[in-house]
């Protein structure tokens, strides 16, 4: 499963929306709507699903409830609290469907990137399970990217890889260069956390988001980063990349 093709949008250019229900009132901005299969750039939406930026302030409180779907989240800006316990910026959170979502608050402004497949329809305040993954980026070790032939100058901190799901921080060094066209068998969602990267569609900076379903017609690249870049990457599907050399003129255009 994946989000529809989005390449790329900037979060602050998206409309600020509001939601109120018995579990709280909050504001958010939408990156992408709908869930698709990994069937290429024109994959049809087959189910609900959403990727959003939750916008919190000191008055926001989202009460504890049972997660109706698997939640993958990343504290993008500021600190939050889960059941009163501080969770710092750049922390990854994953909650399986059917587990307890803690009460969410923040002492000040904070932003949380959230992605889920399915319909977020809460039916119970109490869950039977209390499974939750919390990983702080700073505590993790840099390792090789999950794609074995990924261009040099990059490393990954894994948050939580299980089955065909994966999540982590990908870091690329200044002057990193990928002079290839590429497509992959898995879907990806990317959110830029720091720095910038130049792709086929322009320069992505902090707060830029893209979504690529898997499929051989989702070719993108070449890419280049002058200053280096950190990005959150959410993956779903079997790992496999195909790289082919890009047109030299196109590669050179990225380095201007």
Question: Could you state, in chain order, the average pLDDT of each consecutive group of 10 residues for the chain (256 residues)?
Answer: 90 96 95 93 94 96 97 98 98 98 97 97 95 98 93 97 95 96 93 96 96 90 96 94 92 87
User: Domain 6-138: which topology?
Assistant: Jelly Rolls (2.60.120)
pLDDT at 216: 86
pLDDT at 92: 98
User: Peptide bond before 127: cis, by omega within 30 degrees of 0?
Assistant: no
Instruction: Give the DSSP letter of residue 252.
Output: H
Cα distance between residue 23 and residue 56, in whole Å: 15
| DSSP three-state, residue 251 | helix
Alpha-carbon 55 to chain mean position: 16
pLDDT at 179: 95
pLDDT at 240: 87
Q: Which residues pair with 20 in a beta bridge?
A: 25
CA-atom Rg of the chain in angstroms: 18
Q: Which of 68, 93, 69 is nearest to 1 (CA)?
A: 69
Q: Are 43 and 215 in contact (CB under 8 A)?
A: yes
DSSP assignments along the chain, one per residue? -BPPPEEEEEGGGSPPEEEEETTEEEEEEEEEEEEE-SS-TTPPEEEEEEEEEEEE-TT-EE--EE-SS-EEEEEEES-EEETTEEE-TTEEEEE-TTBEEPPEE-SS-EEEEEEEES------S--SB---EEEEGGGSPPB--SSTTPPSSEEEEES--BTTEEEEEEEE-TTEEE-EEEEESSEEEEEEEEEEEEETTEEEETTEEEEE-SSTT--B--EEESS-EEEEEEEES---EEEEEPPHHHHHHHT-
pLDDT at 235: 96
CATH 2.60.120.10 domain locations along the chain: 6-138, 140-254
pLDDT at 201: 87
Cα distance between residue 23 and residue 63, in whole Å: 5
pTM (two decimals): 0.96
- Angle at 85 (CA atoms; ends 160, 121), nearest 5 degrees: 65
In the block, which residue shows the tokens 């409180």? 61
CATH code of 140-254, in short, is 2.60.120.10
Cα distance between residue 204 and residue 233, in whole Å: 14
């Amino acid at each position: 499963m994946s989000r529809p093709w989005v390449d790329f949008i900037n979060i602050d250019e998206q409309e600020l929306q509001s939601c109120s229900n018995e579990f709280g009132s909050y504001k958010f901005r939408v990156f992408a709507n709908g869930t698709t299969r990994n069937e290429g750039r024109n994959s049809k939406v087959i189910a609900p699903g959403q990727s959003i930026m939750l916008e919190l302030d000191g008055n926001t409180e989202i009460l504890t409830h049972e997660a109706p779907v698997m939640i993958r989240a990343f504290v993008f800006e500021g600190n939050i609290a889960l059941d009163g316990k501080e969770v710092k910026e750049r922390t990854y959170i994953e909650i399986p469907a059917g587990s307890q979502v803690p009460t969410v608050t923040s002492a000040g402004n904070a932003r949380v990137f959230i992605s889920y497949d399915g319909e977020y329809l809460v039916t119970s305040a109490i869950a039977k399970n209390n499974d939750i993954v919390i990983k702080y980026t700073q505590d993790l070790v840099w390792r090789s990217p999950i794609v074995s032939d990924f261009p040099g100058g990059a490393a990954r901190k894994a948050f939580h890889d299980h089955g065909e799901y994966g999540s982590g921080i990908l870091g690329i060094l200044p002057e990193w260069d990928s002079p290839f066209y590429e497509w992959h068998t898995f879907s990806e969602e990317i959110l830029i956390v720091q720095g910038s990267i130049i792709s086929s569609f322009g320069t992505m900076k902090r707060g830029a988001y893209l979504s690529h379903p898997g499929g051989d017609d989702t070719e993108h690249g070449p890419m280049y980063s002058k200053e280096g870049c950190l990005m959150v990457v959410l993956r779903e599907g079997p790992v496999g990349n195909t790289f082919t050399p890009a047109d030299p003129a196109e590669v050179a255009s990225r380095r201007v």
